[in-house]
Amino acid sequence: MDFEFLSQTFVALLPGIPVTLELATLSLMLGAGLALAFAVVRVRRLRPLNWLVIGYVYVFRGTPLLVQLFIIYYGLAQFPEIRSSFAWTYLREPYWCALLALALNTAAYGSEILRGALLSVPRGQIMAAQACGMSGFLLFRRIVFPIALRQALPAYGNEFILMIKATSLASLVTLADVTGIAARIIAETYRPVEVFVAAGTIYLAISYGLILLVRVAETRLNPDRRDPAPVAGVGAARKEVTP
Amino acid sequence: MNQMTPPAQPDPALPPAVSVRGLRKRYGKLEVLKGINFDAHRGEVVSILGSSGSGKSTLLRCINMLEIPEAGTVTVDGTEIALVTRRDGGRRPADPRAMDQLRARIGMVFQDFNLWSHKTVLGNVIEAPTHVQKRPRAECIAEARALLDKVGIADKADQYPSRLSGGQQQRAAIARALAMNPAVMLFDEPTSALDPELVGEVLRVIRALAEEGRTMLIVTHEVSFARDISDTVVFMNDGVIEESGPPEEVFAAGNNTRLARFVEG
Ligand SMILES: Nc1ncnc2c1ncn2[C@@H]1O[C@H](COP(=O)(O)OP(=O)(O)OP(=O)(O)O)[C@@H](O)[C@H]1O
Ligand SMILES: [Mg+2]
């Protein structure tokens, strides 16, 4: 393997990193917002929105992201209504199409993760909050959501990593992300192995950083699980003296 | 206890702390409460006994409207909880905010504690005072620490519930309910989920509250404890109150065979 070429390629790919990171960050933020809204609709069974969300999740989980991306990128242009609308200033850009496809896709998966997490919040803890006079948004904000978030984080961390890798599809609609630049270098040099090894290394590094971040977040949100719990115990309790 | 207050006597001259009239509740075909009437006066300690499935928990949950009864009224501290009939025949609170305010005045202690797992013990105790009553945080923290000291777990203030024994969790849950300074405390089998050796520490705390003159409704299977601390004992069977009165009368021999059988276990 030609290490000089490898390191040159590596340097050439660096400008793609901000594009990849930005695409991942924005689509995840947008997607998470949608996912939360969808999850609430599902858990509360708000009809008729509930049916729409069920259909939405079914379609976006049941089709490849690449197909979704192409439909948005090539398909939307065929509607004159869209071409003449304000949205077209964004939707004509490959960047916004990729962002939209990624966000809509992760929203479908994320909503299922959050729905499961919301349903897993122990009924008794909700009842205890209601018994204290909490209800509605206060109850959701202070009790239900924080507990659900702790439950969702491991699975959602997985979704983060999947999305980092999914951004590479954006190169197929001409975006100059890490993969996009890599494809261009391959076309110029015909040396796919070195180029993909360099690109793969970059994705690996980003994912590793993300794994660390998620782990930090998990530890912060679950201080009680930081180190192995002492056996919550009879022995410790017996020493207690009630005044 | 920190401050010793002379044992308060229930005061029947004031309006009752809790008044229940004609309460009925059903789950599907099963009628769980078949017309319950009773009063708990201020400072009165009422123990509710009865076999499993007789509707004790349902009665407590109807008092703070965690379950909405089909018929009957509940009045807490002079305020009746207004219910309106829905189109499907069920009922709902006329004013959800008024219901929240009322619930804030009723402390509830559950069989399985139900502490909020994402908050420390202190966080659990100050949550409702700061966010429901919207009182200053510093003041709530000071009060919470005093309450935790009172129930004997001051040193656990910064621990998460999962690190506490069952008895400690239940005492934290009692402190959480007390922090709202409720007009009445409801206990639903507060010691049933505890290992036998942890029951005593919780009963001691409840006894101290009784001696302070707090109004309390206690569902319990601890018959001798109930006999000891109660002003009134209520025996429920199959959705109705079968016996009710001072413990020495209710437990008088030969009074009620079902109760006698229950007491014997
Ligand atoms: N949410 C519910 N849905 C359907 N049935 C219920 C529900 N809650 C309680 N029940 C039924 O109502 C009856 C009374 O229940 P409740 O919990 O009030 O009894 P209890 O006197 O507290 O019993 P225990 O001593 O076992 O706690 C039981 O037969 C129970 O199965
Ligand atoms: Mg019960």
- Contact with chain B for residue A122, Cβ under 8 A: yes
Which residues constitute the domain of residue B163?
A: 43-54+96-264
Question: Residue of the nearest CA to atom 18 in ligand 1?
Answer: B55
Q: Can you tell me the ipTM of this complex?
A: 0.92
Gap between the Cα atoms of B5 and A127, Å rounded = 32
pLDDT classification of B9: cutoffs 50, 70, 90 = low
Closest residue by CA, ligand 1 atom 22? B57
CB contact set of A99 (below 8 Å; sequence gap of 6+): A23, A26, A27, A30
The per-residue pLDDT of chain B, averaged, comes to 91
Q: Is residue B89 part of a domain?
A: no
Residue B23 maps to a domain: no
CATH number at residue B251: 3.40.50.300
User: pLDDT tens digits for A13-62?
Assistant: 999 999 999 999 999 999 999 999 999 999 999 888 999 999 999 999 99
Six-digit token string for B187:
């206990």
Ramachandran class of B152: left when φ > 0, alpha when ψ lies in -120 to 50, beta otherwise: left
Q: Is the pLDDT of residue B75 over 50?
A: yes
Domain boundaries, chain A: 14-241
List of chain B residues whose C-beta atoms are within 8 Å of the C-beta of residue A220? none
Cα(A226)–Cα(A59) distance, rounded to whole angstroms?
A: 39
The CATH homologous superfamily for domain A14-241 is MetI-like (1.10.3720.10)
Q: What was the pLDDT predicted at A241?
A: 40
For residues B253 and B172, the model is more confident at: B172
Question: Is the confidence at residue A156, as pLDDT, over 50?
Answer: yes
Is any ligand 1 atom within 6 A of the Cβ of residue B58? yes
pLDDT at B12: 65
Please check the confidence at residue B223 and state whether its pLDDT lies above 60.
Answer: yes
Instruction: Report whether pLDDT(B87) > 70.
Output: yes
CB B50 less than 6 A from any atom of ligand 1: yes
Mean pLDDT, residues B87-113 taken together? 92
CA atoms within 13 A on the CB side of B265: 5
Q: What pTM was computed for the model?
A: 0.88
For residue A122, list chain B residues with Cβ-Cβ distance below 8 A: 114, 117
- Count how many domains chain B has: 1
What is the distance in A from the centroid of ligand 1 to the CA of B57?
A: 7
Residue B237 domain flag: yes
* B145 sits in which H/E element: helix B137-150
In a domain, B5, yes or no: no
Give domain status of residue B248, yes or no.
yes
Pick A142's closest partner by Cβ from B127, B162, B201. Answer: B127
Cβ-based contacts of A145 with chain B (< 8 Å):
none
Residue B84 has pLDDT above 50, yes or no: yes
| Sequence-separated (6 or more) residues with CB below 8 Å from residue A170 | A23, A69, A94, A95, A98, A102, A177, A179, A180
Residue A238 has pLDDT above 60, yes or no: no
The DSSP line for B174-219 is: HHHHHTT--SEEEEESTTTTS-HHHHHHHHHHHHHHHHHT--EEEE
Q: What is the pLDDT of residue B176?
A: 98
Taking only the tens place, the pLDDT of each residue in B115-133 is 999 999 999 999 999 999 9
